[in-house]
Amino acid sequence: MSLKFGTDGWRAVIAEEFTFRNVRRVCAAIEKTMAGAGRAGGKAIIGHDTRFLSRRFAEAAAETLAAAGRHVMITDRYCPTPAASCKVVEEGAAYAVVITASHNPAIFNGVKIKDSTGASAGEEITSACEKLIAADEPARLPLDEAARRGLFEIGSFREAHRVWIEKVVDLDTIRDAGLSVVVDPMHGACGEIMASLLAGGSTRVRTLRAAPDPLFGGAHPEPLERHLAGLKAEVPASGADVGLATDGDGDRIGAFDEKGNFVSPLLIAPLIARNFLKRGRTGPLGKTFANTILLDRIAARHGLPFSVFPVGFKHIARQMVSGRLLLAGEESGGIGIEGFVPERDGTLIGLLVLQAMIDEGKPLSSIIADMQADYGQLHYERRDLPCPSEKGRALVEDLKKRRLPTIGGMKVTGLDDLDGLKFLFGEDGWILFRASGTEPILRIYSEAPSAERLAAIMGDAMEMVAAFTP
């Protein structure tokens, strides 16, 4: 069986392709790749989320790596993926393996690889791993025996995570700000982390769906408005100042203002960038291909360098390691911040939203209104259509051959095929067609100057998809 890595790691349906045997095969290939890349020494960090059997899969990974002679440290309990990245850096470890399928539905699980910087492993690593996955199941070393040999230990990742968060935000100020915050970790790996970080002051944190649940309460653990009805209702009903949500493994963010209006990541990243500038922090900004024009406008207004990356946070992380980025984000809620490990973190971004509210002394809805007055109002939508990857890629290739003068009444001013195919509408919008790198889904993203125009654009897009015959 050929196992392939996608946008961020290897993911598959539990009990079909995601089995103990295949996890061991993948982990043996990771160890061979890392040792061959000059990382034969040092620990391997292993984290896991709250998915079905994630702890047992993490232990299977540990048995495999220990059998290869690697010293392994496994988390003492489920943890957010960014906590594992922080622990890699704290320990000076060679790499990390995290058992998680991030925001995917509950039937999935997966393996993410983090390098010694805490960043997602690049394609040179994942491609090498794919080639080294052997047909036979590798050797394993029982963990009690591995411990006796000094090759296995259990550790907490929580303190390393907190230390790195405090490098970026002032927790004392947020604790004492008197805010009322509702948090929804969606039964995922963040649990009560926000409440724990902010305990002891006048800020009050109430957590919904904190208990770990491998089925995520029957919901899809991605912090989109359609999956967050409880948080949307609870914020205005309780008189809270803000609602914050994180995905299954805690690296993505979604939010609601005090009125219960959804604040998408396409508003959160510009909001934080704007707050940084007000604080006197400047530097290069960036985004992945499906993110908002607002970031472009902020960079242009302030004369800041600006970069656009393919979809996938690993491209942002690589730039954070090799160069400089004050802030860069992806449309799905992963945002990287200078001063933190080169990894996205939903908890950190939630805290930065609170910091912006404290700095401005205004409700979140007013801050967003001010930002839109300064940089323009845009409307955004993403649709996920079940579609085999091959068909999705074929549709994109077919669209490249077309010469469409308009879509949804918007004049097409250019095409960009950096990742999928994007039709550009000048500086006022765009639509992107892209086959997902993590699921059998065709994603269609669009941004437009009005809700009516956005609906027309998406209507034309759906007609194009329906008419396509490969």
Q: What is the mean pLDDT of residues 446-461?
A: 96
Determine the pLDDT at residue 8. 83
Amino acid in position 228: L
Report whether 315 contacts 470 (CB < 8 A).
no
Domains 167-375 and 379-467 share a fold: no
**pLDDT band at residue 344 under the 50/70/90 scheme:** very high
Determine the pLDDT at residue 1. 59
Q: What is the mean pLDDT of residues 111-138?
A: 94
d(CA 14, CA 20): 10
Determine the pLDDT at residue 71. 98
Largest interatomic CA distance in the chain: 69
Q: What is the mean pLDDT of residues 136-142?
A: 95
Give how far the C-alpha of residue 198 lies from the chain's centroid of Cα atoms, to the nearest Å.
23
d(CA 295, CA 73): 39
Q: Where are the beta strands (DSSP E) in 56-203?
A: 71-75, 95-99, 108-114, 152-155, 180-184
Instruction: Say which residues have a Cβ less than 8 Å from residue 181's Cβ, sequence separation at least 6.
Output: 194, 198, 203, 204, 205, 206, 240, 241, 242, 243, 244, 354
Chosen CATH of 379-467 out of 3.30.310.50, 3.40.630.10, 3.90.1150.10, 3.40.50.300? 3.30.310.50
Report whether 154 contacts 76 (CB < 8 A).
yes
Report whether 6 contacts 438 (CB < 8 A).
yes
Per this entry, what is the length of the chain?
470
Determine the pLDDT at residue 166. 97
For residue 231, pLDDT over 80 is answered with yes
Amino acid in position 38: G
Q: What is the mean pLDDT of residues 433-458?
A: 93
Q: Where are the beta strands (DSSP E) in 19-92?
A: 43-48, 71-75
For residue 470, pLDDT over 80 is answered with no
Residue 324 sits at the vertex; the CA angle it makes with 321 and 329, to the nearest 5 degrees, is: 85
Report whether 11 contacts 4 (CB < 8 A).
no
Q: What is the mean pLDDT of residues 215-228?
A: 95
Determine the pLDDT at residue 245. 98
Q: What is the mean pLDDT of residues 188-206?
A: 98
For residue 145, pLDDT over 90 is answered with yes
Average per-residue pLDDT in the chain? 95
Closest to 171 (Cα-Cα) out of 206, 190, 199:
199
For residue 386, pLDDT over 90 is answered with yes
Determine the pLDDT at residue 312. 86
**pLDDT band at residue 32 under the 50/70/90 scheme:** very high
What number of CA atoms fall less than 13 Å from residue 309's CA on the CB side? Answer: 23
pLDDT, tens only, 267-312 = 999 999 999 999 999 999 999 999 999 999 999 999 999 999 998 8
Determine the pLDDT at residue 151. 98
Topology of the domain comprising 10-161: Alpha-D-Glucose-1,6-Bisphosphate; Chain A, domain 3 (3.40.120)
All structural domains of the chain with their residue ranges:
10-161, 167-375, 379-467
Chosen CATH of 167-375 out of 1.10.357.10, 3.90.650.10, 3.90.1150.10, 3.40.120.10? 3.40.120.10
d(CA 412, CA 402): 12
pTM given for the model: 0.94
Determine the pLDDT at residue 78. 98
**pLDDT band at residue 358 under the 50/70/90 scheme:** very high
Q: Which H helix or E strand runs over 443? A: strand 441-448
Percent of the chain with pLDDT over 90: 91
Q: What is the mean pLDDT of residues 88-97?
A: 98
